[in-house]
Amino acid sequence: MAQKIILDCDPGHDDALAILLACASPELEVLGITTVAGNVPLDKTSYNALRVCEVAGLHHIPVFAGMPRPLVRKLYTAEHVHGKSGLEGPKFPEPTRPLDSRHAVDFIIDQVMRSEEPITLVPTGPLTNIASVLIREPKVVDKVKEIVLMGGAIYEGNVTPSAEFNIYVDPHAAKVVFDSGIPVTMIGLDTTHQALATPERVAKIKAIGTPLADIVVGLIEFFQGHHRLKYGMAGPPLHDPCAVAAVIDRSLLTIKPMAVEIEITSELTMGRTVCDIWGTTKRELKAQVATAIDADRFFNLLTERLSLYPLK
């Protein structure tokens, strides 16, 4: 039986690939896509989710706009990585349908509370929507199967020396989520920086030979610009699809239970996921934290699923 999921995202190049991977995977039933402000403001992340669904023919997947700003702090965005629109690079068709009229937070609460089967939440952006769900309806804690998120880092951040972008944008929301009692699996930079879209791997996606594959290659090529300049990487890390892949096949990752605390006080280390990798503090093991991914198997999975989309 397919695992029911809600994909909460802020597209974003790698969020777009997470959507495509999730919706082409028979192991998953995507109940809906919810958007949050993050890589770009909410109006753009919502529009981008619709554009990805349009180009992939995912007209049956509803899209819901959520929170337009973090719980406490001002919104920090990443146009320097994703471009002004958030999906710079290839040309997308205009969406032929609007957003669902319901708010993302209301949708998540409704789905979780009335589902007879547990639902997994897969956030690949700031955790503002998920924290808002937990604040508004605490009973979801007993109904959510798991939260599998892309965010955080054991060691170094990418927006500051201490913090990864998704957690930095809304650290207070992240603290609500990690302290909720719901099982959390954290796929952080230490893992996603192993999942590099090298030229050889991109060539295999290009060889699929579909218009969608060409768009994916265009997204990766634009995304590479920032990562080549900043990190000197051979290819950009595909952060967000790693979280989806973890739900599809957990054996792709090496995962260790850890005590994880979110820094919300010090401006110098704001948004740091303080991971007690060696168990020195004896704190509660709040999360399962990924430490490695089998990158070849991950890209084989991604390429195979992208090939399932129609040829036209």
Task: Catalogue the active-site residues.
Answer: 239
Q: What six digits make up the tokens of 276?
A: 């007690």
Q: Which of 212, 216, 191 is nearest to 201 (CA)?
A: 216
Beta bridge partners of 4: 29
CB 209 within 8 A of CB 307: no
The burial of 271, by beta-carbon neighbours within 10 Å (0-12 exposed, 13-18 middle, 19 or more buried), is given as buried
DSSP the chain: -PEEEEEEE--SHHHHHHHHHHHT-TTEEEEEEEE-SSSS-HHHHHHHHHHHHHHHT-TTS-EEE--SS-SSSPP---HHHH-SSSS-SS--PPPSSPPPSS-HHHHHHHHHHH-SS-EEEEE-S-SHHHHHHHHH-GGGGGTEEEEEEE---SS--SSSSS--HHHHH-HHHHHHHHTSSS-EEEE-HHHHTT-B--HHHHHHHHTT-SHHHHHHHHHHHHHHHHHHHHH--SS-B-HHHHHHHHHH-GGGEEEEEEEEEE--S-SSSTT-EEEETT--S-----EEEEEEE-HHHHHHHHHHHHTTS---
Length of the chain: 312
CA 261 centroid distance within chain: 20
